[in-house]
Every structure is written in structure tokens, then in C-alpha cells.
Structure 1
Amino acid sequence: MERGRRAMLAKGVMMAGMMTAALALTGCGRLVDARATARETAFEAQFPPTGQLLEVNGTTVHAHIEGTGPDLILLHGASGSSRDFTFDLVDRLKDRYRVIALDRPGLGWTDAIGDQTANPIAQAEVLRAAAGQLGVRDPIVLGHSYGGAVALAWGLRAPGDTAALVIVSGATMPWPGNLTGWYAFIGTPLGDRVGPPLLTALAPVALGDRIMAGIFAPQPVPPGYDDYIGVGLAVRRQNYRANAAQISGLRPYLRVMAPQYPRLTLPVEVVHGGQDRIVPASIHALPLAEALPDARLTILQDQGHMPQHGDPQAILDAIDRAADRARDRTERRQAP
């Protein structure tokens, strides 16, 4: 899943490793932590929650809610937050859906959930409980990238209470190979201890902008997106640890989930960019669509990993199709 992102970070990993060794040898840990704390405070003041904070069994969950109509849940991808959707997509949907964009556990303004933070099934359960507090019934659930795995887990755990799924650039199938480079380093005890503080304290925001450009490729980053998304939220120490754990730990959960996909008889729209180098369609979207009993696959041949920005109309169309298919399914069930 992270092959493209790892390539972008490869050069930085070597430098980070050398800087880490230097910090360990010179005993600068306290200075780094102080600098990291100061930057985190500034980032959080600059990018506050855009919605409301719910308490779900001791876990704070951030939910941004707009519009009226059938319930539509939006689940963001790795390194992100609900701001990815509130930048533009929510405004395009709120005239006909009650749109609920949720920060996933450990990211944005939602708390981590301890040793279950890397478990997409546990994430789905926490977010379903938050949706229950909001009176959500039979939602359409859209998941982008890592959020696609959480959306599928949502459907598997509540197939009778989920109207339809929309999987956009979803990381949904076990992929070949192993993580290397930066995420592999963060997975070590030393990396976990020194990597996130180092990144938070010293990494320039411009580095996030360069990484973002690679994630959007071959499409450009939309004007104003980098100022709105809040890259600083993603490099807070606990946020970064949670994200790294989720990326590193996803594949074993997909091995458990994938054999269960044929049980999902609800309508599923699978939308994927043909130029996606982060989560290749051939590894994820194509076998997913084959495994699902009622999937419709749309490959956007010119799009990369972020089609919700590169071709938002295609995503709107997929959501509307999912709503229509869910309504038809309900009517068929109710027919005498």
C-alpha cells in the first residue's frame, strides 16, 4: 500500500537516521521534546476541530456534520483527517445528504484506542458507536484509502444496518512484500522513541507539502488544500505514532477480513484511480470487486490516489448510485 509513499521518503530516512543517532549520542532529547510540544500547541491552535467532539465510552471522537437527507459517513485515509472531506466534498453533498465526516481513532481530533488503534475492525466499532449517538440509521459509508478498510469492517460488523458502501482508492486486500524504510524504522523500539519527536520538532512543513504532491500525483494538489488540511496535525507525536502503527499493522487484519467479503451482499461502489501508485488498483480494487457479490467497479483511468479531489463528480456519482441501489434493494425486500 505504501510503496509510493516510501519512495518519496527514502532519501529523508537516511538523514533522519543520522540525525536520530546524533540526538541519542548528544543527549538532546529534552530539547527535542520541548520543541515538539511547542509546535504541537501551535498546530492545534491553528487547526482546531471543525465539528463536535463526542464521548464514546471514554474515547473522544470528532464528527463534522452538515446537511440533511440520508446519512452519509465519510472515513478518511492514512495521515489525514476529516478536513480532507470538508475542504470541498462536503459542500457538494450537503444539499441531499446528512454528511458526517469522522476523524478515525488516533488521527485528527479523535483519541487513539490503546492497543486497538491499529485494528480497522475496532476503529469501525468506535465510529459506529459515535454514529449511533448522532442517531445514524442505515448509512451509506464511504472510506478512502485506509478508510476503505474501516468502511468494509463497518459493513461486516453491521450488514443489516448499513445501506451501502463506497470504497474510494481503498486499501482493502493483503498486498505482497513488506514495509521498509521509515515506517519499518518507526516500528522498532528505538524508532518509536525518537522518530516521532524528531519529526514533530524539526521537520519543516514544506516536507509535508512535498509528500502531499507525491500522494496527489499525477494530479496537482488543489489550490488552498495545503493551507487548509493542517499538515501539522498529522505530525503530532501521538498522531504520527498511531498512523505509523495503522499502516504497519493493516495487512494482518486484511488477511482476516478479505475471506469474509463475499458475505457483504449490500451494494458496494468501488472507485479507484488507474494511475494510483500508492494503493494500486490491480492489487486492491480489482480483486475486491470480484470478491463482493454486489459490487460495481469504476476505474478512473487518468486519476491517482485522490480522485475525490481530482474527479469529485465521479465520487458524487458513485455515492448517488449507492443511494439509488440501496433504495431499490429495500423496495425489493419490502415488496409482497
Structure 2
Amino acid sequence: MSDTKDVLLFGALALIWGTAYTAIEIGLETLPPLLFAAARLDIAAAVFVGIVLLRRLEWRPRTKADLALVLSNGLLVIGAHFAFSFVGQSYVSSSVAAIVLSFTPIITPLIAIHLLPTERIVITDVVGLGAGLAGVIAIAVAGGTFDGQLLGIGLLLASAVVFALGSVLTERWTPVLPTMSLHAWSMGIGAVFLHATAYAYSGASIRSVTWTPSAVAALAYLGIVATAGGFLLYFALLSRTGATNVSLINYASPVVATIFGATLLGEQITAATVAGFALIVVGFALCNIRPLWRLTQSTRNASGGSRPLEHGEIRVRGNVYTATNDSQTHLQPSD
């Protein structure tokens, strides 16, 4: 994040997504998790469709890239991600859920290595992944049972993987469809996916649940603010700074979630949870030494904007890579 606007967008997204964990915890007291997630997307899809209609934007996907993006976002970044995360959080506290999902930035560059022209795996990636996994295990072992907290953490890890995969895939395609239309399609596809999954999993439907005032308030906040507003901010940051940089949001939102969880829900913060989060942060730093160095350099030179590319370098969604001279070309972040 090299300018003030990026920092402000990042801070707003951290607050919105951090408090979303608290809202989910409140809604899960009375609502089935998959149906709750589906209803959240119903509201967000309605908001985006309304914007598309009011602005008379092109809404029909016209290229293969358009189709690929709406499917990737709808099924992975939104649909599968919410399916795993909502069910997973039904077994753990909001702060633990947020911290386990902070494992996402460690997975993101490792997936990018295989799907985008990036660097090969080096020893720091392996050590970083190990540190991150150790952090997750520390949290899981702290009083968990195989049918309770450990199951929830496993589902949250699956959520992190599909979210990271979808985020990286979005960098492979350049759409023609307007951003608002892409969001509308993605939210709609995600909602349909979750409704179908909810019905197949437990037969849950909108008519089969009891709506309390707190559940309605939590749903409205999640649908309008956290999903419609949050994903607009997320994809704006993704296009400006790249998947690796924007994934730093996972280290700000857990702090917000922990504060609100302790204040509003009375959740306990254990030493094992803090230690696990610290290990995950160390793991991210090891997996992203060179990107973090570039972030430090860009912060120092923020007034000068993005530096010009040198010979053999390319820029992919805000991340700079340089080609090595091997018999087979590989790309790696420049120092």
C-alpha cells in the first residue's frame, strides 16, 4: 500500500470484516450456518443488482474471462469460502475463527507459485508454512475436541484455502464486464450455491427458521455492510495492490474481531490463542520476505509513486516480478 488512499481503504476493510465475525457469532445463536450465509449473500446480490440496474450497466458476460471471473468469485471466493467459514465458526469463538483465517496470506503466495508466473519455493516458504501450521495447531489443541473445536478449525482452514485459491485466480483474467456487474453475478452465484448446499445438508429454508431481532440485525449488517461494502473494498484493493498485499487484511481483522468479541460477547483470550496468532504472523513474514521488503521500500518512497520497472521485470496486479535465466523461465519477486 503505497499511498494514503490504499491505507484508508485497508483500515475501513479491517474494521468491517473484523466486526463481521461478531455479527456472525450473534446470528449463529439462532440461524443454521449455511442458510445464514446464503441469506447474507441474497441481500448483497440484491444491492449489487440494484446498482447495476440504476446505472444501466452492461450485465451480460461477454468474454470467457468474464465467465471465468464470475464463476471463480461466486463458487470459491464467496460460495465455498462462506460455506466452510460459517459452519466452522459455529464450533469456535469469533476471535479464534478470525485468527485461523489469518492463515490465508501464507497459503496465497504458495498457490500463486503454481498458478501465476512467480518464484519457485525456497526454504523460507517451507519454514514459514511450518510456523503457520504450528500456530493453527496451538490454537486447535487448546481445549479442543475432535467433534468440536478441532472440526471447526479444520473447516476454517478449508475456507482459507478456497479463498486464497479464488483470490489468485482472479489475477489470471481481465474482464470486459463492469465491476458492479461482476459483483452482482458473483454474489448471485454464491447465494444459489449456498442455498442449494443448505437444503442438501439439512433441508433448511428461509421459512423453517425463527427470526429474532438480533439475528435480523446481524444479517442486515453482514449483507449490506460486510458483504456488499466489504467486497467492493476488497476487490478495489486487490486490483490496486495485488493478492499478496491485500491478504494482509487477515492480520488486522483478527485484532478487531478479538476486541469486539471480548467486549460484546465476553469471549476469553487465551495465551495459546495469542501464541498461535504470533506463529502465524511469523509464518507469513517468512513466506513473504521479499514482498514485505518491497512494501517497506514503497512506504519510504510513497511520495514518488511506483518505481519504474527495470530490465527483465514485469508488474502483475501491483506485484513486481523478475525473470531468471534458467533453461526454463521462472519469475520471482525482485528485491
- How high is the TM-score relative to the length of structure 2? 0.27
TM-score, with structure 1 as normaliser: 0.27
| Structure with more of its chain in helix, by fraction | 2
Answer 1 or 2: which has greater strand percent. 1
Higher RCO (CA-CA < 8 Å; seq separation 6+): 2
